[in-house]
Structure 1
Amino acid sequence: MAEKNYKIALFGLGYIGLPTAALFAKNGFKLIGVDINQKIVDSINSGCSPILEPGLAKLVKDGVTKKLLSASTDGIEAAEESNVMIIVVPTPIDENNCSDLTAVISACETVSHGLKRGDLVIIESTVPPYTCERTVIPILEQSGLKASVDFGVAYTPERALPNNTLYEMTHNARVIGGLNEESAEKAAFLYGKITQGKIITVENLVTAEMVKLMENTYRDTNISLANELAMVCESLGIDAIEAIKAANFHPRVNILSPGPGVGGHCLSVDPYFIIEMAEKQGIEARLIKTARDINNHMPHHVAQMVENSLDEIGKSTLHSNIGILGVAYKGNTADTRETPAKPLINDLISQGAEVLVHDPYVSPEVIINMGAKPVKIEEALNCDCTVLITDHDQYCDLTPAMIKSHIFICTRPILDPERFKNEGIIFKGVGRPYVPNYSLLDSNDFEDKRIILDGAEKP
């Protein structure tokens, strides 16, 4: 085994596929990336990365300059010229929250037309358990070749976080499952060339498929616990962020931060793959379902916070202008996949509000397609109510003097509430109920040192 013996065709040049391709090229492998989007292909062949990710632009430029990295829309030709095919295409869910394997099936069909004896096919796309055995291999065998006899199959899930993708790909552990021992060994050799992390070989394909789903389901469930605790704390007048921080000093407790909902292609999608397969086996994945329901509810909870807050100052969502800070699902990225900002915007528009959005990374076209108006940050901060959704670094520098809105709702724990309340700003957040600074209130604002908040008397 040596780099010179391999030529790789990688299908799917998205947030994970392109960094993977660039890393293989960096480590001396000749790789051709395949994508159905001609603009992406043209951009890569010109030495430019179409994806905003720290360090990726240089890797792409270097790979193209050294003639180790190229891109094409012709998947059959790419498969014919290669002896390793890696499939990293999207696997979304449909309207029934079931896996949509259309892209995986299409890529496998393309590969089958160029498959040869001795080839290795690696699936990286997140898929439900038994997808490799029951879907991928039968399609590949339409080539007339026999899996395990004529060609190998391996599965290895990616583990990478946007805005830190290259570091995680080169340092995280890599889980690999193979159809047979030879398939697993070849895949382990290849990925061992691009990561310093541990290579973990599991028993078979389906175990590796399940590992990825377990990881993301764990995180989704943990976040749902934080979100449910946050909503309970809001009702009790408790600062959930402070309580969670204190609880996490327990050596066996690690509650994640609550927020406006879960976005991205992993946490908001992968648990449904387990639910889908469990139901086919006659098992109800109750905890996983409930976690998904809680996290899906959070954007609607934030919309209700907006409505209640406006009502408290004698306004209505109808005809109000609502500023939104950030529509990317994660800070410092342009990634809006499954972003909780979208259902929030939908709720606010359905209630008759005008929604004004600022996001330093997301294009105006994407914002307009969400039904909102792209604006400068000053305009978003000068609305009847402003809601911070995304924890972009820029928003960490907000000061009370910049907030011109009547109400500021901060759904991420990135700002100090007291700093804003001390300046008389109505500052609320997920898990952070509004308790005014009474030293700033005029005596006419309350009677007998009590004030009505959220429909209940608070001392």
Structure 2
Amino acid sequence: MKTIIYPDSQTDLKKYEKLNTDLKIYNKNVQINDTQITKDDTDQTLLEADVIILTQSCINTGKYNLENIKQACEQIREFVDENKTIVFDTPLPPRSVYKMSKVIDDLGIIKDMNLAYITHIDDDTQLIGYSNENTKNLITDLYKDMALKTETTNNIQTAECVPIIQNAYKDTLIALANQTAILSEAITIDLIEAIKLANMNKDINLLNPQPVLHNDIIRDSQEIVNLADEYGEAAQLSQTTRDTNNYVAYHVAYMAEKELYLKEHLAMFETTVAILGITEDPKLITEDNNVSLILIDDFVSRDVDVLVCDDKIPEEIIQKHGAKKITLDEAYEADCIIIMTDDPQFKNLEHDKVQKVVISALPILNKDEFDDKEYSSVGQYRLKKEEML
């Protein structure tokens, strides 16, 4: 069997060396390095291929964009017939493969086009969506060494939707925790302990309150809202989820303002605030819907001197938002330190160096170390004796 992989510059070609096939690379516009796979950009290669794998990235600045995969489909369509199988091996929102099949065969000449979509359920399990049984058997065998386990579905749209649902689920659970965390301060409970106890029920799997700073969660949860708008359906839950998780920025700002005023008698415009952590991704993918950047913008609009510590963020982006990039040691000099990500160096602050106030948008699990400090964290209300029962 002859297989062509049509990659872009972001494709990890090394992993495709595991494919059980005679494999070549086709893309006249991409320089190929660090792979043993042969590159052949001739039309004859496309003509002779049994399978064409498309891996173009369809995520641009943190949002889905089908333009790259559409261009690839336009490039190959004259070589596609009922004997070829087209595999879409790249994250796509639901109905994208269907739309691309119309790009390949806009006249509907191919009655039963052989199509497959590859995604993942978890780190060990790949999911293959297929258009017919022949495609199922062919691609399952082709991809058998690409994951420890393989699941299949005969509905490609279903496969496309799985990671969207998974990430929307995470976003919704976090929104529940964040909303309850804000309420917990009014009704004086330790939400983190409440969640721990609630999770003793095997049917419950609550998450702790936290900022949502993984782009895939934000992107896919928002995609449900986008799809609902496109197809004229309602998506109030997903929209509320996104709004709730973005509101965490303003709640953290309120917590900082309250602690600084009540404990240090400082108005916000008199203070310096150090924000630790901007993204949980390896790099900042987009500035949209980023809770840490929303927080920075809110402080800067109120004339607060904002310092930012995150090695993954270019200094020019931090400066664009009106803040200054610093090291962790410099953060200890601030009036208020705000922890926004799960980075170990931020979670394990040297509490002896803390000057005034620590605010955490995540639970402080070593909170006993901060008993002699002015601190507050989302979901961990510090009970006063007169409020305890």
TM-score interval (norm. to shorter): 0.7 to 0.9
Matched position secondary structure for 2:186:
helix
Q: Is the 8 A contact 1:217 1:288 kept in 2?
A: yes
Matched position secondary structure for 1:157:
strand
Query: 1:254 maps to which residue?
Result: 205
TM-superposed deviation, 1:378: 0.9
Query: 1:245 maps to which residue?
Result: 196
Equivalent pairs: percent with the same residue?
A: 27
Query: 1:191 maps to which residue?
Result: 143
Change (3 A) 1:139 1:336: closer
Cα distance in 1, alignment partners of residues 80 and 341 from structure 2: 44
Q: How far does the alpha carbon of each residue in 1:157-180 deviate from its partner, in whole angstroms, 9 at most, with x for none? A: 2456xxxxxxx2xx2x22221122
Tell me the TM-score normalized by structure 2.
0.84
Query: 1:180 maps to which residue?
Result: 132
Query: 1:90 maps to which residue?
Result: 58
Cα distance in 1, alignment partners of residues 252 and 221 from structure 2: 23
Q: How far does the alpha carbon of each residue in 1:185-219 deviate from its partner, in whole angstroms, 9 at most, with x for none? A: 3332233221012x211121112122222222212
Letter in 2 for 1:87: T
Change (3 A) 1:350 1:116: farther
Q: How far does the alpha carbon of each residue in 1:282-308 deviate from its partner, in whole angstroms, 9 at most, with x for none? A: 432222222222112212222222223
Query: 1:7 maps to which residue?
Result: 4
TM-superposed deviation, 1:335: 4.3
**Which structure ranks higher in relative contact order (CA pairs < 8 Å, sequence separation ≥ 6)?**
2
Change (3 A) 1:189 1:394: farther
Cα distance in 2, alignment partners of residues 427 and 434 from structure 1: 9
Q: Is the 8 A contact 2:364 2:377 kept in 1?
A: no
Cα distance in 2, alignment partners of residues 295 and 75 from structure 1: 50
Matched position secondary structure for 2:376:
strand
Query: 1:444 maps to which residue?
Result: none
Cα distance in 2, alignment partners of residues 222 and 259 from structure 1: 10
Q: Is the 8 A contact 1:129 1:209 kept in 2?
A: yes
Matched position secondary structure for 2:217:
coil
Cα distance in 2, alignment partners of residues 34 and 335 from structure 1: 28
1:138 aligns with 2:102: yes
Q: Is the 8 A contact 1:367 1:374 kept in 2?
A: yes
Q: Is the 8 A contact 1:426 1:434 kept in 2?
A: no
Query: 1:446 maps to which residue?
Result: none
Query: 2:357 maps to which residue?
Result: 407
Letter in 2 for 1:352: D
TM-superposed deviation, 1:435: 4.7
Q: Which ranges of structure 2 fall in alignment gaps of 5 or more residues?
A: none
- Comparing 102-111 with 211-220, greater Cα deviation is found at 102-111
Matched position secondary structure for 2:86:
strand
Letter in 1 for 2:16: F
Cα distance in 2, alignment partners of residues 211 and 398 from structure 1: 38
Q: How far does the alpha carbon of each residue in 1:398-452 deviate from its partner, in whole angstroms, 9 at most, with x for none? A: 2311323x2111222354122112xx2111111123457xxxxxxxxxxxx87xx
Aligned match of 2:171 in 215, 220, 233?
220
Change (3 A) 1:414 1:434: closer
Query: After the TM superposition, which residues 386-405 of structure 1 pair with which residues of structure 2 at under 5 Å, given as runs?
Result: 386-404=337-355
Q: How far does the alpha carbon of each residue in 1:365-413 deviate from its partner, in whole angstroms, 9 at most, with x for none? A: 4444554322110112221111111111222332311323x21112223
Q: Is the 8 A contact 1:32 1:78 kept in 2?
A: no
Matched position secondary structure for 1:267:
helix
Query: 2:328 maps to which residue?
Result: 377
Q: Would you say how many aligned residue pairs link Structure 1 and Structure 2?
A: 384
Q: How far does the alpha carbon of each residue in 1:322-355 deviate from its partner, in whole angstroms, 9 at most, with x for none? A: 111111235xx33454542221112121121222
1:426 aligns with 2:374: yes
